[in-house]
Chains A and B, each alone.
Chain A
Amino acid sequence: MAKEMKLACNVVEQVEAICDKFGNKPGELINVLHEAQNLHGYLPEEMQRIIARKLGIPASRVYGVVTFYSFFTMTPKGRHPISVCLGTACYVRGSEKLLEEIKRTLNIEVGQTTPDGKFSLDCLRCVGACGLAPVVTIGDRVYGRLQPKDIKTILDEVED
C-alpha cells in the first residue's frame, strides 16, 4: 500500500465540518463516512482518527465499521473505477469471464488500482440493468451485453 500521506489542512477542516454537520453524534457514523469518502475518494487512517475524535468514539469502532461495509474503502480508487456486476443475472450470463478478462488485461486483482492510477477494479451485486446482463460499469457509464473479447475495446475507449 502507498505510504500514508498526511491530509491537507483543508481536507481535515472539511471532514471536521462534516462531523459537525451531523452533530458529532456516534449514531451518524455511517452518514459521516459516506460524506467523507465522497469528499476524498477513500478513508485513510488519519481521516478515520479525525472522525473518531470528533464523534467521541474509539478509533477501533470506526475501523470496525469501515471494514464491515464493502462500500467503504481505505485504498484510493482509480480515476475510472470499474465494477463488474456479479449479480445472479449477470453471473449466469457469464460475468465471471468478464472479470477474469479485466483482471488479465489490467493485471490487477479485485480491490486493486492500476499503477498509473487510471483504473481500479471492484465487483458489485446487481446494478439493476439485468436486461443488459452481463454488465460492467466504468465510472458512471454502464456497458451491457458484453463478451470477454469486448473488454479490451471498452478499456481502450476510456480517456483520462
Chain B
Amino acid sequence: MKTLNFEDLTQLRKKAHAELNVRELSYAATSEESCGLAVGTEHIQLLCCGGTGCKASNSAKIVDNLKAAIEAEGIADKVDVIVTGCFGFCEKGPIVKVMPDNTFYTQVKPEDAEEIVKEHVIGGRKVERLLYVDPKTQHTVSDSKHMDFYRKQLRVALRNCGFIDPENIEEYIARDGYAALANALQNQTPEEVIEVIKQSGLRGRGGAGFPTGMKWGFARNYQAENKYVVCNADEGDPGAFMDRSIMEGDPHSVLEAMAICAYCIGANKGLIYIRAEYPLAVHRLRIAIEQAREYGLIGKCVLGSDFNFDVEIRYGAGAFVCGEETALIHSMEGKRGEPTLKPPFPAESGYNGYPTNVNNVETLANVPIILTKGAEWFASIGTEKSKGTKVFALAGKINNVGLIEVPMGTTLREIIYDIGGGVKNGKKFKAVQTGGPSGGCLTEKHLDIPIDYDSLTAAGSMMGSGGMIVMDEDDCMVSVAKFYLEFTVSESCGKCTPCRIGNKRLLEILTRITEGKGTMEDLDTLKTLAATIKDTALCGLGQTSPNPVLSTIDNFYDEYVEHVKQHKCRSKQCKALLTYSINPEKCKGCGACKRGCPADAILGDLRKPHVINPFKCIRCGMCQSRCHFDAIVVI
C-alpha cells in the first residue's frame, strides 16, 4: 500500500466510514426490534470484547465459536465478528454486542455462541437469558444505553474502546482518526495547536493534573537538536487498568496524539514506556505502529508533509516509581528507575539530556478529539478548574466492577450507586479509595463532593491515575492503610531517607497496631512522621505515600483507637486480634474443619461438636471456609 497524503486520507475516511456505518447507526438509534437475517437485516456485526479481563474469561474462544457457527451456517458474507477493546462492564464480561440492534449480551460463554448465531443473527430473536437484568427492576435490558452502568457515563477518552477493532487502522480512521493530525499539519502552526489544548483546559490524567498545553509550551520553548515525546504507559497503581484498556482498545488515538505533540514541541521521536506485564497492549500497539507507518501516518514525511515522526516502544520492568517522569526517563536510559530532583524538568533536560515531554495515555487519548471537536466543546464538560472527563477503574466491593468514564464533577455517590450499582452483597458502604497508593480513603461524608482534581485533594485524597476501590464494613481501615504502605515500602526506590526509612517505620507502627501492640503515642507518631515524609521526600511517590495513613487516621480515628485500646478489629480482618471458636449448637461433628486445619488445632470426635485449641490456632480461617454449617464463630 502506498503511503497516504492528505487527500488520500480524506478519501479513505469516506470509504471506511461507510463500512463502519452499520455500527454508527445502531449506536445512534436503538430499536426495540431485533435484527436478524430472517427479518430482513442485510448486514450484521458481532462485537466481542478482546480486553484482558474478558480474554481471561475465554472470550477468544467465544470469537472462534461465533466464527465457526457463522461458517457452518454459510452466512459469512453477511455477518462479521469483530474483536474490540474493553466495553468497560467487566463485572458482566465477556460481552458480545449484536449490531445493528445494539443488543448487549453479558457473561457469554463459548458454548453460547451457537445459540446467538442461530437464534439472534439468523432468527432475529434475542437470547433472553444472556441479557442484562437490572438489579433494581429485575427487568432485562437489551442495550447498553438503558443500563444504569452506562447512563451517566460520557465516553471521550474511551470513545473507540468497545466500538472499533483496535487492530484495524481503517476503523480508527473512519472515526475521524488522524484527522486532527492532518489538520494540524496542513492548517495550524504548533503554537495554534498548543493554544487549543491550553484553551480546552486539559490537565494531565496521570495524577498531578498539570495543564497539558502549558507543558507542551515549555517543551516547545527549549531549543535542542533532539526532542522527545514520551507516552507514560507505566500504569502501576494496584487495581487500575484505565491506560491499558485504552491501549488495548484504541491504540491509534495515543499514536496520533503523540504525533500531534511532536509537531507542537518540535520533536521527531516518540517513545512509549509500557509495562512488560501488559502483553496484549504491547501487541496492539505494535500492530498500530506498523499500520500507521505503512499508511504514512508516522515515519518520514507524514502525510506527504515535511514532518517526520517515529515511535518506539520501551518496556518497564515492574517498578511503580517509574510512573514518576524523571524515574521513567532514567529507566528508558537503561538505568535504575530512580527519580531525580525537578527542576530541571524533562521539558528542559529529559531523555538523554534532551527536552522531553511526558504525557500519560489517557491525557493523550483526549488530544485528537479536542482538536476535532474544539476546545470549547471539551471545556464545556466538567468543572471550573477540571475540564473534560475522567476514566476510573471501579473495583472492590461494588456490584458493577468495570472501567467507567464520567464528566469531571460527577459525585462519588453517582459513581458508586448509579453506575456502580451500589455495594456488593447488600453490605454497608464504608469508604472509597481513590488515587491508589498516593491517594486516600474517603467516606460517606464525601460522597456528594463533585469530584475533580482540587476537590479530591482538598478532601485528603487525590485524583491519581483513576483507581477507585470501594470498601465495605468488612474492610479494616488500619489494614487498608497497611496494605498501601506495604506497597509503597516495596516499591520505594530507596533513594531518599524519608521514603526509604520513614515509610518502613510507618509500616512497622501500623503493623504493631494491627497486632494489638500499638500505643496511643504511636498514633501521634504516625501523624508527625507522615507529615515529615510528605514535606521532605524527593519525588511524588514519597511525598504522597503517607496519604492512605493520614486519610484513614482522619476519617477512621475511632477504628485506630479501638485497635490500640480494646485490641479489637471491628471488621475482623486483623488476624492477631481474632479468636476462633466453634458453636456447639451448630457443629455437626463432620470433621471438615479438623481435616482442613493446617495447625492441628481442632479436636473432636466424629458426629460430636468439635473445639478449637486457641493456643494452637493460627487464625488462618481455613475452618471457617470449610464449615458447611456456619458453626465457626470469630470474635
Contact = CB atoms under 8 A, between A and B. Distances in A.
Contacts of B331: 30
A68 B493 contact: yes
B469 interface: yes
B240 A27 contact: no
B395 A89 contact: yes
A131 B487 contact: no
A11 interface: no
Interface string A61-74: 10011001111100
B374 interface: no
B621 interface: yes
B334 A130 contact: no
Nearest to A69: B317
A61 B333 CA distance: 13
B238 A126 contact: yes
Given A34-B315, A88-B469, A149-B625, A129 B56 contact: yes
Interface stretch (B19-27, B125-133, B396-404, B518-526): B396-404
Contact of A89 (B239, B317, B337): B239
A50 to B, nearest CB: 16
Nearest to B393: A130
B318 A69 contact: yes
B158 to A, nearest CB: 14
A92 B475 contact: yes
A34 B276 contact: yes
Interface string A30-69: 1101100000000000000000000000000100110011
B52 A127 contact: yes
A88 B395 contact: yes
Contacts of A104: 598
A131 B91 contact: yes
Contacts of A92: 396-397, 469, 471, 475, 480
B334 A29 contact: yes
B276 A133 contact: no
B334 A65 contact: yes
B420 interface: no
A131 B401 contact: yes
A128 interface: yes
Report whether over half of chain A's contact residues are helix, strand or loop; otherwise say mixed: helix
Interface in B334-370: 334-337, 352
A127 B56 contact: yes
Interface string A82-113: 00001111111100010011001000000000
Most chain A beta-carbon neighbours within 10 Å: one of B315, B316, B352: B315
A71 B276 contact: yes
Given A30-B314, A34-B315, A88-B467, A129 B337 contact: no
Given A124-B277, A135-B56, A88 B625 contact: no
A132 interface: yes
A14 interface: no
B465 to A, nearest CB: 11
Contacts of B620: 100
Given A27-B352, A31-B315, A125 B236 contact: yes
Most chain A beta-carbon neighbours within 10 Å: one of B53, B93, B493: B53
Nearest to A131: B90
B13 interface: no
A125 B238 contact: yes
Contact of A26 (B57, B334, B396, B471): B334
B220 interface: no
Most chain B beta-carbon neighbours within 10 Å: one of A30, A100, A133: A30
B559 interface: no
Contacts of B402: 131
B483 interface: yes
A147 B622 CA distance: 11
A148 interface: yes
Given A34-B315, A149-B625, A128 B336 contact: no
Nearest to B352: A27
B319 A69 contact: yes
A26 B433 CA distance: 40
Contact of A131 (B53, B244, B317, B622): B53
Nearest to B315: A34
Nearest to B490: A70
A27 B312 CA distance: 14
Contacts of B52: 127-129
A28 interface: yes
22 contacts: A29-B334, A31-B314, A33-B317, A34-B276, A34-B317, A65-B335, A68-B319, A69-B317, A69-B318, A71-B276, A72-B317, A88-B469, A89-B239, A92-B471, A126-B240, A127-B277, A129-B56, A130-B393, A130-B395, A130-B401, A131-B91, A131-B93
Given A27-B332, A29-B335, A129-B53, 5 more contacts: A68-B493, A125-B239, A126-B238, A128-B244, A128-B278
7 smallest CB-CB distances across A and B, nearest first, come from: A131-B90, A89-B395, A142-B56, A69-B317, A29-B334, A88-B239, A71-B318
